[in-house]
Amino acid sequence: MVTTSGRFLRTEALLGKEKMKKLQQATVMVVGVGAVGGYCVEALARAGIGRLILVDFDKVEESNINRQILALTSTIGQKKTELARYRVADINPDCEIITKEMFVNTQTLPELLQLKADYVVDAIDALNPKCALMEELYKRQIPFISSMGAALKTEISHIKYGKLSATKNCALAKFIRKRLKKRGVDLSKINCVFSDEQITLPETAIFMEDNVEQESGRPRHTLGSLPTITAVFGLTIANAIIKNLTQKEY
């Protein structure tokens, strides 16, 4: 594969031809193409990643519009995987795109991970599927980066890329550390993006939605969030993958 019509000229100018070729030959799987995952896919596509595997089971809802790049008035009700496919193809027609419309859990993981990837992005927000995916990727020694909680945060300067063992002031990371440690996962081997911001919340920041969680069937707690924070989470993950793929640091 060669650079398409100069669309990656500036990236190639910065990284060089050999590193650009590594990106064009790489396969990245993004599990969850919502708030964090959507921005990650956007950056990976614009970086020239040659093959993207996009995984999600959800459709766009009106409440997604405040933070998800695929969510527009015109896309409400449409499948996120298909919207991501069309957008990536419009950015880079040479990118091979595979979509999997599935809910990730212990039953579906073997089928999903038959698709080989150089890197996996975990942008799942539900605890049980997230832990199942992280544990399986760890066991299989597949390089991955996991997103911790971006909701309820407001300060971009507190967003970090590092090890799961180093996370703090993140409720989601706390639960994940506890669960994965019980399962024998070395937390110092898990790369993630997190915010260490100590938050003080208004009473309205957490509320109950009328719909229910798919994995538990219970009413869903909804957490307030900003578009800027989720976008930076996704872009930080994409940047780390670009660097690691071109520098072979994983």
pLDDT > 90 in the chain, percent: 85
Please, which pLDDT band fits residue 1 given cuts at 50, 70 and 90? very low
Please, which pLDDT band fits residue 222 given cuts at 50, 70 and 90? confident
Please, which pLDDT band fits residue 143 given cuts at 50, 70 and 90? very high
Name every residue whose Cβ is closer than 8 Å to that of residue 76 and which is 6 or more positions away in sequence: 60, 61, 62
E runs forming strands in the chain: 27-31, 51-55, 96-100, 119-122, 144-147, 159-163, 191-195, 206-212, 219-223
Question: What is the average pLDDT value for the chain, to the nearest integer?
Answer: 92
| Token representation of residue 21 | 């070729």
Taking residues 117-145, report their average pLDDT: 97
Selected from 3.40.50.300, 3.40.50.740, 3.40.50.720, 3.90.600.10, the CATH number assigned to the domain covering 9-247 reads 3.40.50.720
Tokens 């599990």: give the residue.
31
Is residue 4 pLDDT above 60, yes or no? no
Is residue 162 pLDDT above 90, yes or no? yes
214 SS3 class: coil
Please, which pLDDT band fits residue 2 given cuts at 50, 70 and 90? very low
Is residue 213 pLDDT above 90, yes or no? no
Please, which pLDDT band fits residue 215 given cuts at 50, 70 and 90? low
pLDDT at 167: 98
pLDDT at 3: 46
What are 81-95's pLDDT values in tens digits? 999 999 999 999 999
CA 204, chain centre distance (Å)? 27
pLDDT at 5: 62
The answer to whether 173 touches 153, Cβ cutoff 8 Å, is no
